[in-house]
Structure 1
Amino acid sequence: MAAGGGSPHAVEEEQAGLRTALSGLTTRGRSFLAAGVAASVCAYALGQPDLLRVGLLLAVLPPACAVVLHRTRYRVAGSRRLSPARVPAGSEARVRLRMDNVSRMPTGLLMLQDRVPYVLGPRPRFVLDRVEAGGRREVSYRVRSDLRGRYPLGPLQLRLADPFGMCELTRSFSTQDTLTVVPRTEPLPPVRLTGEAAGYGDGRQRSPALAGEDDVIPRGYRHGDDLRRVHWRSTARYGELMVRREEQPQRARCTVLLDTRSGAYQGAGPDSAFEWAVSGAASALMHVLERGFSVRLLTDTGSSVPADGSGGFAGATQDSADSAGLMMETLAVVEHSDEAGLSRAYDVLRGGNEGLLIAFFGDLDDEQAAVAARMRQRSGVALAFVLSSETWAQSGAVDRAGHRLQLLRDAGWTALEARPGVPLAELWRRAGQERTATGPAAWHGGTGSTVAGASGGWS
């Protein structure tokens, strides 16, 4: 709050600042001002000079405090540090606030207030008595949300007060931070779903490296090359020592499909069927990423994350931690879609061999169950968790969609119904047991085709 110069614009700013300062009078300041005016009027009417002096003192003190506070040249820098910036739903994050007095004079009473959404808890407030010149103060608070999403923190507000409590001025910093609350995940047990699917699980194939001179078939010998890689036929042909191309393992692929249709779920809140499906998709993503899969998240809208040049699969061109963060942040803000069916997701899946397919479906009518069944045609191993609104809306209700689960099973899916209160880890273990009981032959049923490749599985 700098004092005005000689220009008209500076004078207008000074007047506006004074008006702001006077409008910041507290209840105590307004009471003193009113009492002073009343005492002055009574003293004038009754001819009491002593009462007039008291009245003038009471009336002048609040505006004088406002002017002094307005002209106080505090230079205070504020910063915020969020640790961690991404937390699962139901977990706490710590927010640290730091105030630095960069002026040459100590501050008076400072009151800090950070703006947070009501979902994260009450608005934190702190009182700093005095910050010496060049000094700093640090305070912290915790935030927690049971609902996933992105929540803005800030801006930080600084309230200045005079020593008598007559006036308070509020100044806001411009910086804001974002807390990302991702879905809860639960560890899944290591199960093995064996089958004949190329390019996933333990049956990984090996493919040539796809970058650099090492891809040339064959290439010239270099100092340090293993002599066991010498390609004698090419050596005799070219007249110089040649070695075979290098190979690297081909990463297993997995698609996690999340049904977000608004008509497929009922209810809302942390314990709703849709939130269970989102949390289940997050748990499956983390599970397969930790096991070296190249993964993508697909929704019924046909959009996949990440959408890069590798066909939408993460892990092959990105670090696993970056891939996990990108998909978890997507799940943090995913909402219901207006799609009527699963046709867009089917169009994406029928484009090639997707390896492992893990799907979380809401309500399926006969038409959408048939579309979901056809998704199995190009997949090696297909695992479906179906959430029925009837069982989630009424605890203990009888599921009437058993024949739709059977449609998926006839097409080669391992289809399980997800009921309230049943953890995904238990369903995951049950899926492994059912897959072991049915054997590899069951994975060729319903599609009329066989997926050729190396025998393997996943865990």
Structure 2
Amino acid sequence: MASGGPAADDGGDSDGDKGGVRAALSGLTTRGRSFLAAGVAAAVCAYVLGQADLLRVGLLLAVLPLVCVAVLYRTRYRVAGSRRLTPSRVPTGSEARVHLRMDNVSRLPTGLLMLQDRVPYVLGPRPRFVLDRVEAGGRREVSYRVRSDLRGRYPLGPLQLRLSDPFGMCELTRSFSAHDTLTVIPRVEALPAVRMTGEASGYGDGRNRSLALAGEDDVIPRGYRHGDDLRRVHWRSTARYGELMVRREEQPQRARCTVLLDTRRDAYQGAGPDSAFEWAVSGAASALVHMLERGFSVRLLTDTGNSVPGEGADGFAGATQETADSAGLMMDTLAVVGHSDGAGLSASYDVLRGGNEGLLVAFFGDLDEDQAAVAARMRRRSGAAVAFVLDSETWTRGRAPGQGRAPDAARLTARVPAAAEERVRPLREAGWTVLIVPPGMPLADLWRMAERQRTGSGAYPAGGAAGTTGGWS
């Protein structure tokens, strides 16, 4: 919820007051200027002709718009506005509602008000509301909806209020200083609960090695990590190594999963909500949420070697944070992720080769011979690796010109080009489970197919075996 008074509330500086008075006089409407001009003309004529009654009429005509200006000039300090956004994070194509509230904190009623909120073009038309007279101490509440098919972070505000006097002599526009931000995240698709290699549960650092637990001398220490219990400090090792060391203890640890998103500009063709890159971003978001919900400790990694900042140890989130917070942090990152200018996957490979990363789920764009070889080497230290490859040739062949998503029947029967299969052959030979994604194919169907291909139960129909060209089942 954002709130605040008008930005012009400067507290009485003399130069600011002069500027405010000039701004208020510039707000005179055509009616107000006409009254003022008529009053001045009447006063001049009264002086020339010596008519006292005409002078009184002229003064009345001239003073009325000036009084309206003075009243509106003081009103700017006595109106408060606030904005409430529900929810502040929405998937693409979903709506959020913005609630606006105006409070008259003065002792005098207001005149006619026009309320306007500034929103980006992609969220829809600029909302405008006309508020009738607001009594002293009263308030008015209005709301409007925003929606975007493009992910991103969009500012809302500042809120603008146009004040008008009852006689229509003056109109002033005041802006409030508060802003809000609407985060439009990728659409998340519910995925089926299939079993992937590397999902087995384990315990602590002892899951991959046997720890000697016979006595304190046999305890294998490790370096202190932020958040470790100080009661686990191993003082003998600390003195030996000159840095704080803690005992390795048998404690539950979640299985790990790395979701790799290829963002290379050269790897994708097309733009817009139905482009291959947006499908990959949505797929990565769906995989992240699904694996977090299944109890995995998850890391989001891009081809640049960067992971989501502010996460737990080694860049993984979920083991020490609440699942909702971890998912929200990654969704915010995916909401603004764009194309990188990198030409290869070497940076992400350098991150992955540092240790056993558990399950690896990758969303690749076009892979040439060199990048396919780099991607194949990522599999060596992973418990399992699943690749969804969005080949440009497949997407170009799968969508007719001038059409959006292909019909369901066409998607399910589209044949994978032989050239695309040849490009991903190094991944299959390295042990990857590879699926070449046709345009608009639901990730849930591909998720099931990946499990069937991994277990050898057949992800392809008759006439096509895993690793060869065939139709989608």
Quick check: TM above 0.5?
yes
How far apart in 1 are the matches of 2:335 and 2:425? 32
Q: Can you give the 5+ residue segments of structure 1 that lack an aligned partner in the other structure?
A: 220-244, 440-459
User: Which string of whole-angstrom CA distances, capped at 9 and with x for unpartnered residues, describes residues 385-434 of structure 1?
Assistant: 11112232454587332201222111101111111121111111111111
Q: In the TM superposition, what is the alpha-carbon distance from 1:94 to its structure 2 partner? A: 1.1
Equivalence map 1:173-188=2 (5 Å): 173-188=176-191
Task: Note if contact 2:312-2:321 (Cα within 8 Å) is conserved in structure 1.
Answer: no
Q: In the TM superposition, what is the alpha-carbon distance from 1:82 to its structure 2 partner? A: 1.0
Say whether 1:430 aligns with 2:449: yes
Equivalence map 1:57-456=2 (5 Å): 61-72=64-75, 74-193=77-196, 195=197, 200-201=198-199, 203-207=200-204, 247-306=250-309, 308=311, 310-395=313-398, 399=417, 400-437=419-456
Q: In the TM superposition, what is the alpha-carbon distance from 1:70 to its structure 2 partner? A: 2.0
How far apart in 2 are the matches of 1:375 and 1:156? 50
How far apart in 2 are the matches of 1:105 and 1:52? 31
How far apart in 1 are the matches of 2:9 and 2:265? 55
Q: In the TM superposition, what is the alpha-carbon distance from 1:258 to its structure 2 partner? A: 0.1
Q: In the TM superposition, what is the alpha-carbon distance from 1:39 to its structure 2 partner? A: 8.5
Q: In the TM superposition, what is the alpha-carbon distance from 1:174 to its structure 2 partner? A: 1.2
SS in structure 1 at match of 2:270: coil
How far apart in 1 are the matches of 2:202 and 2:298? 17
Q: Please, which moves more after superposition, 389-398 or 134-143?
A: 389-398
Q: Can you give the 5+ residue segments of structure 2 that lack an aligned partner in the other structure?
A: 1-7, 217-247, 401-415, 459-473
Paired letter, 2:264: R
Q: In the TM superposition, what is the alpha-carbon distance from 1:79 to its structure 2 partner? A: 1.5
Q: In the TM superposition, what is the alpha-carbon distance from 1:49 to its structure 2 partner? A: 10
Paired letter, 2:204: S
How far apart in 1 are the matches of 2:99 and 2:9? 29
Task: Note if contact 2:399-2:439 (Cα within 8 Å) is conserved in structure 1.
Answer: no
Determine which structure has greater relative contact order: mean sequence separation of CA pairs < 8 Å that are 6+ residues apart, divided by chain length.
1
**Number of matched pairs:** 401
Task: Note if contact 2:104-2:138 (Cα within 8 Å) is conserved in structure 1.
Answer: yes
RMSD: 3.3
How far apart in 2 are the matches of 1:217 and 1:191? 39
Q: Using a 3 Å threshold, how does the CA distance of structure 1 residues 280 and 60 change in structure 2: closer, same or farther?
A: same
How far apart in 2 are the matches of 1:3 and 1:102? 17
Paired letter, 1:404: R
Q: Please, which moves more after superposition, 91-100 or 387-396?
A: 387-396
Task: Note if contact 1:186-1:283 (Cα within 8 Å) is conserved in structure 2.
Answer: yes
How far apart in 2 are the matches of 1:44 and 1:395? 86
How far apart in 2 are the matches of 1:424 and 1:4? 58
SS in structure 1 at match of 2:300: strand
Task: Note if contact 1:267-1:393 (Cα within 8 Å) is conserved in structure 2.
Answer: no
User: Which string of whole-angstrom CA distances, capped at 9 and with x for unpartnered residues, describes residues 213-266 of structure 1?
Assistant: xx99779xxxxxxxxxxxxxxxxxxxxxxxxx9843321000000000001111
TM-score, normalization: structure 1?
0.78
How far apart in 1 are the matches of 2:60 and 2:106? 32
Task: Note if contact 2:393-2:420 (Cα within 8 Å) is conserved in structure 1.
Answer: no
Q: Using a 3 Å threshold, how does the CA distance of structure 1 residues 307 and 367 change in structure 2: closer, same or farther?
A: farther
Q: Using a 3 Å threshold, how does the CA distance of structure 1 residues 54 and 130 change in structure 2: closer, same or farther?
A: same
How far apart in 2 are the matches of 1:208 and 1:372? 28
SS in structure 2 at match of 1:105: coil
TM-score, normalization: structure 2?
0.76
